[in-house]
Structure 1
Amino acid sequence: MTRMRRISFGLLLVCASVAAWARGRRFLVPFPSVSEPSQVRITLARGGCFGTCPSYEVTISGDGTIHYRGEAFVLVTGDHTAHIDPKTVALLLDSFRKAHFFGANNVYRYNATDLPTYRMTVVVGSRKKSVVDYWGEKAGMPREIIDLEDLIDKAANTALWIKGSDETASALTQEGWRFGAHDQDHIALYLRAIQVGNAGLKEAFLRAGAPVGTKVAHDSLWPLREDTPICAATGKGELLLVQKMSRQLESLSPEIDTECMSAAARSGSVAMLQFWTARGVRPSFPREETGDDVLPSAIQSGNPELVRGLLADYKPDLHLIVGRETLISWLFSHSHFGAAEQRQKTNAMAQLLMQYGADVNATGPGGTTALIDESFFEEDTRDLLMLGADPTAVAQNGDTALSRAKQYRCPVCVMLIEQALDKRAATVPAP
């Protein structure tokens, strides 16, 4: 019986070893021979993820022709063609041969969610092989197979379209790209080029007289803060580019004027803001603002000089609501996780706003103050109390800073608020 147990245990070890080997190793399947380069196609498709993973497909043919299709979170979308030396394709194909690609598993999939799926496909004559990589490294995918993905990208120079380079503008020119076109796809590329700072593309669009004041529909595949090229350049603080663009138009619509003014504030550039005010654009300060309006945008820029200029020149009412929060509450809610230096800037900005009339104890729609809103963040609680926040304030639903701190289990917040309450009680004269 003991001998049988030993044999069974040994067989289990062998089976486990074979299973582990099979998950990652490739079978030695002969690689197909290539008689004509036209028989070869190598494709890499990278899918999206829960985030901003570049999504595109590129195919390299044996004669050196490259077909690229950009789908999401890439600089250049759509279908594009390029060419490389056929010898480069031959070397790439040899890498697949050495990696025993045709003997790899069809799928390497790890049990996880929200990750990108990559697929490589090689066609040689009548033979075809695809390998799917879904975090394959964790599923036993051999490193030699994984590395082939990057080799395809390198051979096809996909960075030309994905991130952009000094060669992107010339490559598009060779394709016959019309930089001066007025359609949405062309203007969207103009916006993305400004956002990533691709000098060659920006110059090509500017030289071609591309429209600078035309709005682009919201693009969920490449989020843009601004919808027009001139406002995008404004938001990036590119004063020289904005000046050149402005020569192409007499005036903009009030809607775009407002967008560009907010972008100027967001850039943190006093000179940019002055450029737009010199054109006759005046900032507006609605009673209920969004984070994209002029004053919140200026505050987010972190430039106190710019904010001080707006407050001094236009004297806006600072008892306003930003995204259902008071101005001070909104300021602190956007700086929870800042480093010490950032927190110092936040406190300095709060003091500046209070100097011009902002109230640290102002109440929002639910009757909450900044301290009640932020009482479960230790740093915010400490800073707001130092700015004079009232620890006795009560919201419409009965919440207080102390009850919120206890509810969200912030013991340091509780201690700070209790100390502030004790200090206040000690200063109140007995009846």
Structure 2
Amino acid sequence: MSVSPKWIFARALACGFCVVTGGAQASSDGSTTSKPAAIPSCGPHQLDGIPASDEVLAHRQFELPTLSYAGDSGPTHWNVPLTLLVDASGRVACRSMGSDFSERRALNHTRRELLRAMTGWRYRPFLVDGKPASVVIRETVAEQRVPLVHQPLPEVSPAQVTISLSRGGCFGMCPGYEVSIHGNGQVDYQGGGYADVQGKHRYQISPEEVAALVERARRVDLWSMSTSYRAPITDNSTYVLTLKMGRLTHEIEDYVGRMVGMPAAVGEFENEVDRVGRTSEWIHLSLAAVERLQSENFDFTSQEGADTLARAVANDGSTDEAALLRMIDLGTPVKGGDAVRPPRGAPMPTESTLLNVALVHHRVALIDPLVAQGLLNTGGLLDKHKLDLAFQDAVRGGRLAAVQKIWNAGGGEVHPSLRLEDEDEDGERATPKRVPVTLLLSRSYRDVHWEGQAIAEWLAAKGCDLKAQAADGDTLLHRAVEAGDIAFVRYLLLHGLNASTAGRYGLPALGSAQNEDIALLLLKAGSSWQMNDGGAGFRRYAEEQHWTRVLAYLNQHTGEASRKQGSGSTF
């Protein structure tokens, strides 16, 4: 819902704090109808259901509101996490107002209005086994503190305008950079750590785009915002938004500001600065950035060129493979580049060559040109050891096409080994064990295109044993469960893998299940669930995840008449 700053200020002055949506409805004769009853708290057992968090956005048929407070008013702990029971028709039946970091949310007038507004929330019915069913979902309603006093954006000529945004590093792989957009359309970008293109670069955009950005700053009233929004946490990025209008400057510091009531408009404007300033083209190497580098007479054959290519190949966020191929065509060295970027949620490559990094990061399009540049050779001849390591990284990368390309890289005369030496790195004894390469399969974080099952089937046809155990005891079933791939889990069970086989730490694959359907499939396949604590931990986890079907199965198969009582409402 879009609301003008003037309306917010008027409402804020009148009531001290307000909610953007909800409340009494005006009738045609000017009177107001009575407010709907608030959505009730869920009682014990009502939040038993099937989690559907990944599907919530697709099923939501309304826009989540933002709760607004004026001036210094507002809650002690910001934003409202909700656990909702949605019935088969898509209406909210009851709610539990949860907490983040163990901090409870106290009710106030604004939040009570939210509970009334929730009566109008509608979701497209969730289907279970093809039929509409009640489900448990989670939502978070944002809260913001809007300025009490309006400070107009200074009127200056375009030549006196500079809008800058800097994003600092974090305890992780956050790209650091700064972009400054000037009124005449000139843009100055400086890339730092974890940005693909680093250093200073200058380019031009249209002055009309800058004028539209200034108008947006005026419309959302940025000049009235506080100068700092800092959350009391650590290890995150600091963003600094600076508006320079002639001799006047307004700076807004954003350190996870949405946790402390920073208006949504600030974060949205930061993103707009990125869009207008084209920063993503440099942070994640793009063909447009390569072309600009060419116009700057950038030396692609230099060490800086090699480092830029290496960073981009290792950056999962950089998806423009045409840019990577263009870099190689322009003579960028494929050896000696320093990525300084560990893979996100994926195993480290066996070797640091650009080919091995490309394989781990699913860069199928780069395989042929990098092989053609001799990255599998030593002294001009195919190196079997390099071929074996590349094959292992192709399996890790989770793309069947990459596995097949490396398998055939020897021209049909030499093939990589289907087995490798494995060690239990977490065990007391690091005893090497010869295992099939299938056990290298591991789904990297948010890899929606992972082809674990297809690779396993292909390798099995080549002679790999699907039932083999790694040195730490894990099986391919453990890998499939960790990946959340129910089709792969079902395939392995059909091929005779034992659901109760103890893996790392003596746990069956069920110990890694994060999906109720997978957990139930394993239980029905005979998996042990007692584990190392008599099953108390698994039962508690199932209760916390609202796995009704799993709990019913446990109760049925242990003779329990009822499960533990829930705590009911948070309030």
TM-score by length of 1: 0.69
Q: Match of 1:132, SS?
A: strand
Aligned equivalent of 1:267: 399
Q: Match of 2:191, SS?
A: strand
Q: Does 1:294 align with 2:437?
A: yes
Q: Match of 2:325, SS?
A: helix
Structural mapping, 1:195-234, within 5 Å: 196-212=318-334, 214=336, 216=338, 218-220=340-342, 226=349, 227-234=352-359
The structure number with the bigger radius of gyration is 1
Q: Does 1:320 align with 2:472?
A: no
The one of 154, 167, 170 equivalent to 2:291 is 170
Q: Does 1:123 align with 2:241?
A: no
Distance 1:218 1:332 in 2: 30
Identity of aligned residues (%): 20
Distance 1:234 1:220 in 2: 14
Change (3 A) 1:330 1:63: same
Aligned equivalent of 1:67: 188
The one of 306, 310, 315 equivalent to 1:188 is 310
Change (3 A) 1:70 1:302: same
- Does structure 2 conserve the Cα–Cα contact (< 8 Å) formed by 1:378 and 1:413? no
Distance 1:304 1:142 in 2: 45
Q: Which moved more, 1:257-266 or 1:90-99?
A: 90-99
- Does structure 1 conserve the Cα–Cα contact (< 8 Å) formed by 2:407 and 2:415? no
Q: Which letter maps to 1:186?
A: T
Listed as ranges, the gaps of 5+ residues in structure 1 are: 1-12, 420-431
Distance 1:43 1:346 in 2: 50
Distance 1:195 1:413 in 2: 41
Q: Match of 2:331, SS?
A: coil
Aligned equivalent of 2:111: none
Q: Which moved more, 1:149-158 or 1:135-144?
A: 135-144
Distance 1:375 1:164 in 2: 36
What whole-Å deviation, never above 9, does each CA across 1:274-326 have from its counterpart, x for those lacking one? 32464543243324378x9931344755454532443453555954326x342
What whole-Å deviation, never above 9, does each CA across 1:118-161 have from its counterpart, x for those lacking one? 32213344432212345657866667666543443333222322
Aligned equivalent of 2:554: 414
Q: Which letter maps to 1:274?
A: W
Aligned equivalent of 2:372: 247
Give 1:401 deviation, angstroms. 6.3
The one of 411, 416, 435 equivalent to 1:281 is 416
Aligned equivalent of 1:347: 490
Listed as ranges, the gaps of 5+ residues in structure 2 are: 1-12, 18-68, 73-145, 426-434, 444-449, 544-550, 560-571
The one of 452, 455, 466 equivalent to 1:306 is 455
- Which is helix-richer, 1 or 2? 1
Q: Match of 1:286, SS?
A: strand
Change (3 A) 1:280 1:182: farther
Distance 1:102 1:20 in 2: 16
Q: Which has the higher contact order (CA 8 A, sep 6+)?
A: 2
What whole-Å deviation, never above 9, does each CA across 1:42-64 have from its counterpart, x for those lacking one? 21123456776654321123454
Give 1:248 deviation, angstroms. 1.2
- Does structure 2 conserve the Cα–Cα contact (< 8 Å) formed by 1:55 and 1:72? yes
Change (3 A) 1:311 1:103: closer
- Does structure 1 conserve the Cα–Cα contact (< 8 Å) formed by 2:316 and 2:344? no
Q: Does 1:45 align with 2:166?
A: yes
Distance 2:453 2:503 in 1: 24
- Does structure 1 conserve the Cα–Cα contact (< 8 Å) formed by 2:152 and 2:218? no
Give 1:347 deviation, angstroms. 2.0
Distance 1:229 1:164 in 2: 16
Distance 1:90 1:295 in 2: 56
Distance 1:108 1:194 in 2: 30
Distance 1:273 1:351 in 2: 29
What whole-Å deviation, never above 9, does each CA across 1:324-379 have from its counterpart, x for those lacking one? 342156235414xx4xxx42321212443x4xxx655544465x352684699865
Distance 1:20 1:52 in 2: 36
Q: Match of 2:299, SS?
A: coil
Q: Match of 1:121, SS?
A: strand
Change (3 A) 1:90 1:233: same
- Does structure 1 conserve the Cα–Cα contact (< 8 Å) formed by 2:169 and 2:175? yes
- Does structure 2 conserve the Cα–Cα contact (< 8 Å) formed by 1:109 and 1:134? yes
- Does structure 2 conserve the Cα–Cα contact (< 8 Å) formed by 1:74 and 1:161? yes
Change (3 A) 1:153 1:364: closer
What whole-Å deviation, never above 9, does each CA across 1:382-421 have from its counterpart, x for those lacking one? 4345545578xx98xxx476566457566445346548xx
Aligned equivalent of 2:508: 370
Q: Does 1:24 align with 2:147?
A: yes
Q: Which letter maps to 2:475?
A: L
Give 1:246 deviation, angstroms. 1.3
Change (3 A) 1:96 1:298: closer
Give 1:261 deviation, angstroms. 1.0
Q: Which moved more, 1:114-123 or 1:260-269?
A: 114-123
Change (3 A) 1:128 1:372: closer
Q: Match of 1:321, SS?
A: coil
Q: Match of 1:169, SS?
A: helix
Distance 1:178 1:274 in 2: 35
- Does structure 1 conserve the Cα–Cα contact (< 8 Å) formed by 2:241 and 2:253? yes
Q: Which moved more, 1:168-177 or 1:110-119?
A: 110-119
Structural mapping, 1:351-430, within 5 Å: 351-352=494-495, 354=496, 360=499, 362-364=501-503, 368=506, 370=508, 373=511, 379=517, 382-384=520-522, 386-387=524-525, 389=527, 399=532, 402=535, 405=538, 411-412=551-552, 414-415=554-555, 418=558
Q: Which moved more, 1:257-266 or 1:222-231?
A: 222-231
Q: Match of 1:330, SS?
A: helix
Give 1:33 deviation, angstroms. 4.0
- Does structure 2 conserve the Cα–Cα contact (< 8 Å) formed by 1:321 and 1:327? yes
Give 1:164 deviation, angstroms. 4.8
- Does structure 2 conserve the Cα–Cα contact (< 8 Å) formed by 1:375 and 1:405? no
Q: Match of 1:205, SS?
A: helix
Change (3 A) 1:362 1:118: closer
